Amino acid sequence: MSLRITQVDAFTSRPFAGNPAAVCILPKPAQPAWMLNVAREMNLAETAFLVKQRDGYDLRWFTPAVEVDLCGHATLASAHVLWEDGHLKPTEQARFHTKSGLLTADKRDSWIELDFPATPPTLAPPPTGLIEALCTTPKFVGRSRFDYLVEVENEATVRGLTPSRSR
């Protein structure tokens, strides 16, 4: 069986920029081990797998190492492929059934608007090495279901960050 995999550079209008993701529209659900192998072969941050359903698409995301519960740039890339390849009309909403619940995307002129679940963080201890890696003292560290949120003093602090992966 031959399948098409499209690489999309999300969050940019320039080639070879932004955040790349692979998108694969499957004719039927695939085994997780197979999807993981495809993601390893693509070797991008995420590879998105879509399966058409009556009211949208099942959507799963895989890194080269694991399946993840939520990925913004690969969802954006998936919506882009659905509209660009004619799977959806430009006026149709992209509806994605995911492990994180229903996610939607709508075209707004040349933009894509995503609607994701709100998952506010609660105060949490930073994971080992985070403070040292950021090389700054945060005002707040919190954790949601999916991520850590780090608040720093101001925009200049964010722009001046030079995270260290070796610490």
Q: Where are the beta strands (DSSP E) in the chain?
A: 5-10, 19-26, 47-53, 56-62, 67-68, 94-98, 101-108, 111-115, 122-123, 140-143, 148-151
Q: How many CB atoms lie within 10 A of CB 39?
A: 25
46 part of the active site: yes
- For residue 163, the Cα-to-chain-centroid distance in whole angstroms is 21
**Which residue of the set 46, 84, 113, 151 is catalytic?**
46
Catalytic site residues?
46
